[in-house]
Structure 1
């Protein structure tokens, strides 16, 4: 009977129960004020029981324990739920702040506000650079074996450059902004923006960047043949450069400059063109790199002046070195020096004799005036070069390094003279070179005096092969 009573008690619709001398219970259930009798087992005795509100219920102590247990459970669940919700809200806020900070940082990186008044970037800020890939620091560490010395490709003014391989198997070059570098965030931003906007077969390809605390990195497509100076200024490597390869490199550099000066959305003055900044891909195609010192011009601006000069000794145009004036003709001067270096296999500033010329430009000019310009040619090219083509390159190189910027050809004219043998080429005038007891020496003295002024800045870089 106790079993029947317990079952009826736990059934909200049960209003009565009974049990006989055979197994089983019978119940009366109330539904919508009607009572439904269950099947009464056979042989059931007529002992019937009805639940009465006045009847004794389950022990109060047991009910209290159940109520308290239920209340405690609800309270615990509520507290746990509140804690989980609090952590979730805090995480959402943290993620939002982190995302906002990264967006602000990216937006700041991709704008050059306050950098120069000589350009206008397209509106849209970081939205125009949504295709830039932001590498994680962990992925760069993994790609470069934690910046191992075995992965180091070279050292520049910006900082060290490392080879790496991404998890997808792509070879990359990682340029790390050194804390000891004379260049800083301004140069980093300049290079990041310019290369992300510029697309040309003779310009290095930017893959993305990484920022981790004070560490700032730019990630490029890896160039397996390193840079032009690696071949030009090492006797063991120089003979690997045939004349056809050298001529293709000269033409490729000129095409890259033509794009920068005329056909890109922004007119770009590189300001640091030199062999170490000419990278070579697997097919020895040249790629202009290192835009940290570049300047952006409006299309209707032809030249500008600055007191903050930066560049590499031996490749700086005289008007820029002495007066701070730079233009597309400044890059043309640097290009002319590179042409003479490619033809000769010698550095412009590699002359240290007590007598004779002080640099390659002066040496080339002396040979030109003696009508024996081909003597400047790299001896490893004899028998494999086209003499007329070499002569024309020397001629064009000397036109590019003329003392007055106005007398130098545009890069468009340079390409025409190099590719079209029927194009008339004017005779070169006195180039800008350093001679003993020359006016240039006086200008150097004047410049040294100006360096004493705190408002006057000047940065030069000595070239060393990697």
Structure 2
């Protein structure tokens, strides 16, 4: 089953409120709108110099006149088509199709305003754009498709080595968006369908249609309109409409569970992979989490780290979730996180997270359960009320 981004049936611009750190009241965010789709002339600053301006005829030829056979994805306000450019390059062409002219222009500029600020090997780039006969984005399309295609397609096609590297690449890309980019960017729609795979199976985050940037002085967004993908949204979003970096962290935790188990975020019966996994995490039955198609062909230390990180990322309270820069180090097995914590913004509560992480990383192999060091580490973890995420 393909999981599509959910948008309201009646297109409208979201009412977005920002909460500054120094205020208790919400502040309306005004979204600049263009009255004309003549973006190439009026809003040239939104485009990178190397982005190509495609005429409509080129886009029509590339997609077979936007034929249904080439339709590979759709959301509430756009459709995505597979296409081949004149030079043979395989591309994805995103076309806005729903909403008023002002709404589509605002959405188009919002996505471009994000993409113009990003440059990272784990972020999908932009080839070009087109504003003739509508608003289009021309994006790279991997021959391997998305992570969702491989995980939910033919079993056994995605080895553990690729899964682990995809987790590292996605974590690096998200860490860049949150902390390394010129703007602080929240993706808001991290899911397997939005992780593209290069020829070498390197992860690239794609689809910035819901992404928002936050000034440093703001703690989070509060949104009144539901946008996102069921199965990847954290509790605070449903309860309060809160969106911040921890929104992406939670979604990344869900994605890790999918990589580990081979199960989708929501199955055909709408059962959540998070709810499916939690009993096994609590009962320490972590072997039950592993995708049967992998057999024994996986690195146990990497698997243990991935399970541990997934557990931290899907914590109910957003303050208990680590930052993506921390997540990336944990996945790599970095054992100096505690010493380097001062390089990150963190709360006192996150000090506990660092302590738990270091205990988990330094814990001896569970094969040596009679080892006094193992027993001591387990006792320390029990003080934190945390399951040792090792068998």
Q: TM-score, normalised by structure 1?
A: 0.61
| Structure 2 unaligned spans of 5+ | 1-34, 337-357, 361-380
Change in Cα spacing, 1:429 to 1:146, as seen in structure 2 (3 Å) is farther
Contact 1:159 1:178 in 2 (8 A): yes
Give the one of 140, 144, 150 matched to 1:221: 140
Indicate yes or no: 2:219 matched with 1:302.
Answer: yes
- CA distance in structure 2 between the aligned counterparts of 1:316 and 1:302, rounded to whole angstroms: 18
Write the mapping of 1:88-127 to structure 2, written as runs, cut at 5 A.
Answer: 105-106=39-40, 125-126=45-46
- CA distance in structure 1 between the aligned counterparts of 2:116 and 2:160, rounded to whole angstroms: 33
Write the mapping of 1:271-420 to structure 2, written as runs, cut at 5 A.
Answer: 271-350=188-267, 352=269, 358-420=271-333
- CA distance in structure 2 between the aligned counterparts of 1:429 and 1:140, rounded to whole angstroms: 56
Give the one of 193, 200, 204 matched to 2:124: 204
Give, in angstroms, the shift of residue 141 of structure 1: 1.2
Give, in angstroms, the shift of residue 334 of structure 1: 0.5
Write the mapping of 1:85-164 to structure 2, written as runs, cut at 5 A.
Answer: 105-106=39-40, 125-126=45-46, 129-164=48-83
What are the superposed Cα offsets for residues 173-218 of structure 1, whole Å, 9 maximum, x if unpaired? 211222379x8433322222212321111111101111233x2211
Q: What is the count of residue pairs matched by the alignment?
A: 308
What are the superposed Cα offsets for residues 157-177 of structure 1, whole Å, 9 maximum, x if unpaired? 443322222223332221122
Contact 1:223 1:282 in 2 (8 A): yes
Give, in angstroms, the shift of residue 247 of structure 1: 0.4
Give, in angstroms, the shift of residue 146 of structure 1: 1.6
Write the mapping of 1:442-457 to structure 2, written as runs, cut at 5 A.
Answer: none
Which one has more relative contact order, counting CA pairs under 8 Å at least 6 apart? 2
Give, in angstroms, the shift of residue 241 of structure 1: 0.4
- CA distance in structure 2 between the aligned counterparts of 1:311 and 1:157, rounded to whole angstroms: 10
Contact 1:351 1:360 in 2 (8 A): no
- CA distance in structure 1 between the aligned counterparts of 2:386 and 2:237, rounded to whole angstroms: 17
Aligned to 1:305, the other structure's residue is in SS state strand
Change in Cα spacing, 1:351 to 1:172, as seen in structure 2 (3 Å) is closer
- CA distance in structure 2 between the aligned counterparts of 1:375 and 1:295, rounded to whole angstroms: 37
Q: 1:249 corresponds to which residue? A: 166
Contact 1:319 1:325 in 2 (8 A): yes
Aligned to 1:206, the other structure's residue is in SS state coil
Q: 2:6 corresponds to which residue? A: none
Could you list the runs of 4 or more consecutive aligned residues of structure 1 that deviate by over 6 angstroms after TM superposition? 426-431
Give, in angstroms, the shift of residue 270 of structure 1: 0.5
- CA distance in structure 1 between the aligned counterparts of 2:324 and 2:123, rounded to whole angstroms: 16
Q: 2:149 corresponds to which residue? A: 230
Change in Cα spacing, 1:251 to 1:276, as seen in structure 2 (3 Å) is same
Aligned to 1:385, the other structure's residue is in SS state coil
Aligned to 1:161, the other structure's residue is in SS state strand
What are the superposed Cα offsets for residues 424-454 of structure 1, whole Å, 9 maximum, x if unpaired? 15669799xxxxxxxxxxxxxxxxxxxxxxx
Write the mapping of 1:30-69 to structure 2, written as runs, cut at 5 A.
Answer: none
Give, in angstroms, the shift of residue 352 of structure 1: 3.9
Aligned to 2:131, the other structure's residue is in SS state strand
Q: 2:372 corresponds to which residue? A: none
Q: 1:114 corresponds to which residue? A: none
Contact 1:339 1:393 in 2 (8 A): yes
Higher Cα radius of gyration: 1
Q: 1:193 corresponds to which residue? A: 113
Contact 1:174 1:219 in 2 (8 A): yes
- CA distance in structure 1 between the aligned counterparts of 2:186 and 2:385, rounded to whole angstroms: 24
Change in Cα spacing, 1:135 to 1:398, as seen in structure 2 (3 Å) is same
Root-mean-square deviation over aligned CA pairs: 2.7
- CA distance in structure 2 between the aligned counterparts of 1:232 and 1:329, rounded to whole angstroms: 25
Q: TM-score, normalised by structure 2?
A: 0.72
- CA distance in structure 1 between the aligned counterparts of 2:207 and 2:147, rounded to whole angstroms: 14
Change in Cα spacing, 1:425 to 1:203, as seen in structure 2 (3 Å) is farther
Change in Cα spacing, 1:130 to 1:414, as seen in structure 2 (3 Å) is same
| Structure 1 unaligned spans of 5+ | 1-100, 111-124, 432-466
Contact 2:38 2:131 in 1 (8 A): no
